[in-house]
């Protein structure tokens, strides 16, 4: 229970891990945007894009997808490492973080509902390709809770 006498304290380790987790989450959001947004643009207006621009978007999407998978692997490794250190997990995933996760998931779900509602509202006036709609909903469903968590835990 008492603070450690020497070496990096548990709190220093926890704060370093908190920063790593935050950086990984930001990287996951950026890379999934890089992966999905070019595909959505391509689905929304394929005729408006030149062949060169479409090729660039395809490459960007592939790079984004590969980077996202890499960061996802790192995130899973991070979670496994934390799971194996109960004294760190207790502090890293404490009560406040649990509460922030619930709030972030709830707000993410509301954001997803708003997107669906907007889609339904504009559907009679605008033709949205199914693929673009599904990708957008998937993107919002994945990124919104992460972004809300990062925002709620901003300091």
Partner 1 sequence: MGHPELANRLKILRAERNWTQAELADRVGVSRKTINTIERGVFAPSAVLALKIARIFGVPVEEVFLLREAGDEE
Q: What would the two tokens of residue 36 be?
A: 């999905």
- The CA distance from 39 to 149, in Å, is 26
| Total number of residues that touch partner 1 (CB under 8 A) | 20
Are 58 and 88 in contact, with CB atoms under 8 Å apart?
no
Contact status: 106 vs partner 1 (CB under 8 A): no
Contact status: 95 vs partner 1 (CB under 8 A): yes
Contact status: 124 vs partner 1 (CB under 8 A): no
Minimum gap (Å) between residue 151 Cβ and partner 1: 14
Element (H, E) at 12: helix 10-44
Q: Which of 9, 55, 76, 131 binds partner 1 (CB under 8 A)?
A: 9
Q: Which of 80, 126, 130, 155 binds partner 1 (CB under 8 A)?
A: 155
How many helices (H) and strands (E) the chain has is answered by 5, 0
Q: Which of 24, 72, 92, 138 binds partner 1 (CB under 8 A)?
A: 92
* Residue among 41, 36, 43 at smallest CA distance from 67: 36
Residues that bind partner 1 (CB under 8 A): 1-4, 9-11, 14-15, 18, 90-92, 94-97, 99, 153, 155
């Amino acid at each position: 229970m008492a603070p450690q006498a020497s070496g990096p304290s548990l709190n220093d380790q926890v704060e370093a891990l908190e920063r790593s987790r935050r950086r990984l989450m930001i990287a996951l959001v950026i890379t999934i945007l890089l992966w999905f947004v070019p595909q959505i643009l391509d689905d929304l207006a394929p005729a408006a894009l030149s062949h060169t621009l479409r090729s660039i978007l395809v490459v960007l999407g592939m790079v984004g997808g590969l980077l996202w998978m890499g960061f996802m692997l790192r995130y899973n490794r991070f979670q496994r490492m934390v799971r194996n250190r109960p004294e760190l997990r207790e502090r890293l995933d404490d009560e406040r973080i649990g509460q922030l996760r619930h709030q972030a998931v709830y707000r993410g779900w509301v954001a997803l509902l708003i997107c669906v509602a907007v889609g339904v509202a504009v559907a009679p006036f605008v033709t949205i390709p199914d693929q673009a709609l599904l990708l957008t909903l998937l993107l919002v469903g994945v990124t919104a809770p992460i972004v809300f968590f990062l925002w709620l835990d901003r300091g």
